[in-house]
């Protein structure tokens, strides 16, 4: 396997610390950059994310042109707080309301394409406790400084060799190491160079995002990688070490559901690519068991695997952005 | 003098307009753990932020206190110091990540002293927005090793090695807004430690309990007669010991402070407590040690000192009611070196020294305006010719 990509397209955030340079490049190329924060009950972290990113990358350095929150129907004060700190806040259901309604992170990211105006869109999860503006500028850096790079993805905790004999683990989470990496190793060994394929922070040019489908739920990160890889190859991608990310931990059961959704997305993609010839239908229910009053009872989680088509297939979008499809 | 007073109310709105930048500084610096003696990481970020905000010079002194300098227009006027301590009471294992609500910020150390430090770092930008230039150089110093066993080493070193006269100083604390400290009481901070041998020898017929020994020390301290004048007190602040409910404690500790408006009285009370401890140790046949970990001398500005009067005017102009309180922090070192200084609080809050400390955002803007006002007062010359005797 050629590991050139890992050497060439892997960066550390400190390589993009010169914010004036990024702003100059952005202005020279006449680019607009949008930041999207998908939310569902994030009242504890949303204000901090908006405030720091707005202060550092809008007020002090004009790198971002807008901060948009797309909310899945939070029942806490997420939307109210986000609005009070100056973000443009939307409920996902209010965007393209004539379409069937779905709920999930992928849905929010997809709909963000319709309401943002940037040539580059940065997606950052809204649950980061140690948010720092490097989470955005370091993803923007490769996109504005390198002509070939159209999509950049975060990884964390410096998961690279730090000396002759010292190797630190890749820092991938449990789902990455138990599900994604084995799958990539089996079917797309080149993609194993992406150290944390499930990281929730990525940025890219609109022309990339508008041309790929978006699964509604957990499968979004996996499908995005597979689709970009298939359409444009690995060379348009970069990964950036953002150092450390603190977020809330999920229990094993929740990770099981996530894994189910990812596997389903993966299998669907492979079918589409003609890489597997699997005749039977696959099921949509993840079945886990709980012990309730000495009886094992199934806990069924339905993953329908809905997927939004490429935004370029949506007439309203093409009208708004003057695209022809 | 009234010129700058008139500007203060409009300052509040201008400062509010850069709320995002100020809070970003508070959070980005405050979220970095900085227990006393381990302030290096916070110092680094403090310096980075100061450099970002384009102070004219940015460096550390020989003790690694980070310092930023905003050059003044006059080459002859001595500098004005603005300081905030960088260390906190919390270890690095404590979650330092803050939660920003609509009107509040919550988290460990926010009230002591993240708001103070964040505001200090924001001052270059605040001065720019307020269109303020000063005759004096403004020295923005984040001082290390201030709390507890730190014994104000950072500020002591900074002032001891500073080569020029100092025109005046403002010490910034997160809270409480309205606080006006212009005097320091004499203080000695001590720890008493009782250790009982855990060997199985025959030296004890009935093994003494270290907690009870400390308890006896406390009882005898409480029986001391302390004078009303000079006003004096002993504060029993910390205690701890033992390992298990059913086991006699082999170790116990007590932390206390002696405070008085008279240094001589502090010394006298200290000697009395030392006698108590020696006596208890002898009586129980155990080792009881007394250790001094910090001390400051009593010093004060008079209430009619021009700096105090100007500060009161600034606060009143902003609708604040000044509340006098002693301060045994950086202020005491300035005053003991005959440098006029005050300590001011930035905002209101709750759970001051706890993990879930919370500060109010809106009052902060008046708190910052008062800092700008007092610096303007010093720069206009209110301290000139009024150094302490």
pLDDT band at B26 (very low <50, low <70, confident <90, very high): very high
pLDDT band at A15 (very low <50, low <70, confident <90, very high): very high
Q: Are residues A41 and A248 in contact, defined by beta-carbon separation less than 8 angstroms? A: no
E strands, B86-175, in order: 99-100, 104-106, 138-143, 168-175
For position B325, what pLDDT does the model report? 87
Q: Does B344 touch chain A (CB under 8 A)?
A: no
The 10s digit of each residue's pLDDT in B336-346 is: 999 999 999 99
For chain B, what are the domain ranges?
2-184+298-379, 186-296
Query: Would you say how long chain B is, in residues?
Result: 389
B-chain CB neighbours of A52 within 8 Å are: 24, 27-28
Q: Are residues A126 and A69 in contact, defined by beta-carbon separation less than 8 angstroms? A: yes
**B18, B21, B98 member nearest A48 (Cβ):** B98
Q: Which of A305-309, A310-314, B22-26 has the least mean pLDDT?
A: A305-309
Q: Does B27 touch chain A (CB under 8 A)?
A: yes
Q: Which fold has domain B2-184+298-379?
A: Aminopeptidase (3.40.630)
For position B197, what pLDDT does the model report? 77
Q: Which fold has domain B186-296?
A: Alpha-Beta Plaits (3.30.70)
Determine the residue of chain B that is closest to A61 in CA distance. B52
For position A284, what pLDDT does the model report? 84
Backbone angles phi, psi at B378, to 5 degrees: -65, -40
CATH of domain A4-249: 3.90.550.10
**B385 pLDDT higher than 50:** yes
The 10s digit of each residue's pLDDT in A212-225 is: 999 998 889 999 99
C-beta atoms of B18 and A59 within 8 A: yes
A-chain CB neighbours of B23 within 8 Å are: 51, 55
Q: List, in order, residues 6 or more apart from A56 with CB less than 8 Å away.
A: A133, B24
Lookup: tokens for B145: 């090793």
Cα–Cα distance for residue pair B38/B31, rounded to 1 Å: 14
Distance from CA of B24 to the nearest CA of A (A): 5
**A167 pLDDT higher than 70:** no
Q: Does B101 touch chain A (CB under 8 A)?
A: yes
Average pLDDT, chain A: 90
CB pairs under 8 A between A and B: 43
pLDDT band at A160 (very low <50, low <70, confident <90, very high): very low
Cα–Cα distance for residue pair B119/B171, rounded to 1 Å: 12
The 10s digit of each residue's pLDDT in B182-238 is: 999 999 999 999 998 766 555 555 678 999 999 999 999 999 999 999 999 999 999
Mean pLDDT over B349-373 rounds to: 95
For position A273, what pLDDT does the model report? 76
Distance from CA of A244 to the nearest CA of B (A): 13
Q: Does B23 touch chain A (CB under 8 A)?
A: yes
C-beta atoms of B99 and A81 within 8 A: no
């Amino acid at each position: 396997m050629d590991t050139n990509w890992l050497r060439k397209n892997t960066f550390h955030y400190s390589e993009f610390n010169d914010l004036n340079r990024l702003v100059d490049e952005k202005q020279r190329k006449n680019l607009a950059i949008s930041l999207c924060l998908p939310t569902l009950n994030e009242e504890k972290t949303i204000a901090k994310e908006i405030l720091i990113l707005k202060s550092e990358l809008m007020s002090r350095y004009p790198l971002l042109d807008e901060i948009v929150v797309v909310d899945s129907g939070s029942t806490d004060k997420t939307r109210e707080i986000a609005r009070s700190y100056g973000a443009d806040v939307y409920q996902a259901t209010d965007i393209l309301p004539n379409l069937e309604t779905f709920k999930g992170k992928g849905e929010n990211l997809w709909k963000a394409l319709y309401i943002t105006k940037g040539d580059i869109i940065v997606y950052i999860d809204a649950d980061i406790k140690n948010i720092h503006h490097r989470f955005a500028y370091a993803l923007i850096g490769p996109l504005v400084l390198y002509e070939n790079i159209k999509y950049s993805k975060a990884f964390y905790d410096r998961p690279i060799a730090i000396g002759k004999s010292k190797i630190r683990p890749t820092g991938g989470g449990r789902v990455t190491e138990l599900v994604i990496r084995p799958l990539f190793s089996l079917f797309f060994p080149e993609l194993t160079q992406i150290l944390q394929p499930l990281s929730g922070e990525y940025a890219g040019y609109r022309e990339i995002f508008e041309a790929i489908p978006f699964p509604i739920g957990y499968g979004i990160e996996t499908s995005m990688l597979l689709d970009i890889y298939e359409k444009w190859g690995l060379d348009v991608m970069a990964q950036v070490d953002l150092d450390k990310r603190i977020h809330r931990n999920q229990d094993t059961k929740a990770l099981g559901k996530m894994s189910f959704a990812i596997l389903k997305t993966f299998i669907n993609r492979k079918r589409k690519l003609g890489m597997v010839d699997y005749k039977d239908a696959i099921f949509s229910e993840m079945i886990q068991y709980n012990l309730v009053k000495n009886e094992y009872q199934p806990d069924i989680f339905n993953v329908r695997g809905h997927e939004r088509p490429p935004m370029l297939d949506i007439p309203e979008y093409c009208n708004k952005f003057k695209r022809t499809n | 003098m009234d010129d700058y007073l008139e500007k203060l109310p409009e300052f509040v709105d201008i400062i509010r307009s850069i709320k995002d930048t100020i809070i970003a500084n508070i959070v980005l610096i405050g979220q970095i753990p900085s227990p006393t003696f381990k302030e290096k990481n916070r110092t680094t970020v403090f310096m980075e932020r100061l450099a970002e905000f384009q102070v004219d010079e940015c460096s550390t002194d020989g003790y690694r206190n980070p310092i930023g300098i905003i050059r003044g227009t006059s080459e002859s006027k001595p500098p004005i110091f603005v300081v905030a301590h960088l260390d906190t009471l919390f270890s690095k294992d404590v979650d330092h990540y803050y939660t920003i609500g609509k009107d509040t910020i919550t988290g460990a150390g926010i009230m002591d002293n993240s708001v103070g430090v964040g505001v200090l770092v924001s001052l270059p930008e605040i001065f720019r927005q307020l269109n303020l230039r000063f005759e004096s150089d403004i020295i923005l110093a984040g001082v290390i090793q201030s709390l507890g066993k730190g014994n104000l080493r950072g500020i002591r070193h900074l002032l001891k090695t500073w080569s020029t006269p100092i025109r005046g100083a403002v010490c910034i604390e997160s809270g409480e807004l309205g606080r006006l400290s212009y005097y320091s009481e004499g203080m000695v901070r001590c720890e008493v430690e009782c250790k009982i041998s855990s060997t199985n020898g025959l030296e004890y017929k009935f093994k003494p309990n270290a907690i009870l020994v400390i308890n006896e020390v406390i009882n005898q301290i409480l029986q001391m007669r302390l004078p009303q004048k000079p006003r004096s007190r002993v504060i029993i602040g910390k205690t701890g010991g033992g390992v298990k409910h059913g086991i006699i404690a082999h170790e116990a500790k007590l932390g206390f402070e002696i405070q008085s408006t008279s240094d001589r009285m502090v010394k006298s009370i200290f000697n009395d407590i030392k006698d108590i401890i020696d006596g208890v140790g002898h009586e129980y046949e155990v080792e009881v040690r007394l250790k001094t970990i910090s001390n400051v001398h009593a010093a004060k500005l008079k209430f009619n000192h021009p700096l105090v009067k100007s500060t009161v005017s600034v606060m009143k102009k902003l609708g604040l009611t000044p509340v006098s309180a002693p301060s045994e922090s950086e202020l005491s070192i300035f005053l003991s070196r005959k440098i006029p200084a005050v300590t001011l609080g930035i905002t209101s809050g709750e759970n001051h020294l706890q993990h879930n400390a919370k500060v109010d955002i809106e009052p902060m803007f008046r708190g910052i305006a008062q800092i700008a006002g007092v610096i303007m007062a010093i720069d206009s010359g209110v301290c000139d010719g009024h150094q302490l005797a």
